[in-house]
């Protein structure tokens, strides 16, 4: 998939988020499966939980979901759920966003065609930056 900004493309929204890994670790310790199932898709859970330390990977994906929701200016809630936004690995291991039906309808309503995302994490923080773009 080519998720680069197309020539003549228009940015329809931007969002970013930063989260402390310790927050994810605490909620994971308290709620484990309940938290994982509420926030992450099965594919996201499988990817993160196979890591030696899944917390930074979960944090980066949590931040991505927040960043995308900020692009849409909805936040996470009635219009867009946690699991409406899924971080998938592409052919070159690059992250990209897959939206559920609610997310795709919202994307279309805003006149955008793609969501671009960049993730990063350290032992202490997960961060993401997302952009809604319209191809011309």
Which residues are designated catalytic?
Answer: 70, 121
Instruction: Evaluate whether 62 touches 87 at the Cβ level (below 8 Å).
Output: no
CA-CA distance, 3 to 131, in Å (whole number)? 11
CA-CA distance, 102 to 125, in Å (whole number)? 29
Query: What phi and psi values does residue 114 have, to the nearest 5 degrees?
Result: -145, 160
């Amino acid at each position: 998939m080519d998720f680069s900004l197309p020539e003549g493309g228009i940015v329809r929204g931007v969002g970013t988020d930063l989260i402390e890994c310790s927050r994810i670790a605490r909620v994971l310790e308290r709620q484990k499966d309940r938290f994982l199932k509420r926030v992450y898709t099965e594919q996201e859970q499988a990817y993160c939980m196979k890591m030696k330390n899944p917390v930074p990977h979960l944090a980066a994906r949590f931040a991505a979901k927040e960043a995308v929701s900020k692009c849409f200016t909805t936040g996470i809630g009635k219009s867009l759920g946690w699991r409406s936004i899924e971080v998938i690995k592409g052919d070159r291991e690059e992250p990209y966003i897959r939206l559920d039906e609610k997310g795709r309808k919202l994307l279309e309503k805003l006149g955008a065609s793609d969501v671009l995302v960049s993730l990063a994490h350290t032992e202490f923080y997960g961060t993401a930056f997302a952009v809604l773009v319209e191809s011309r």
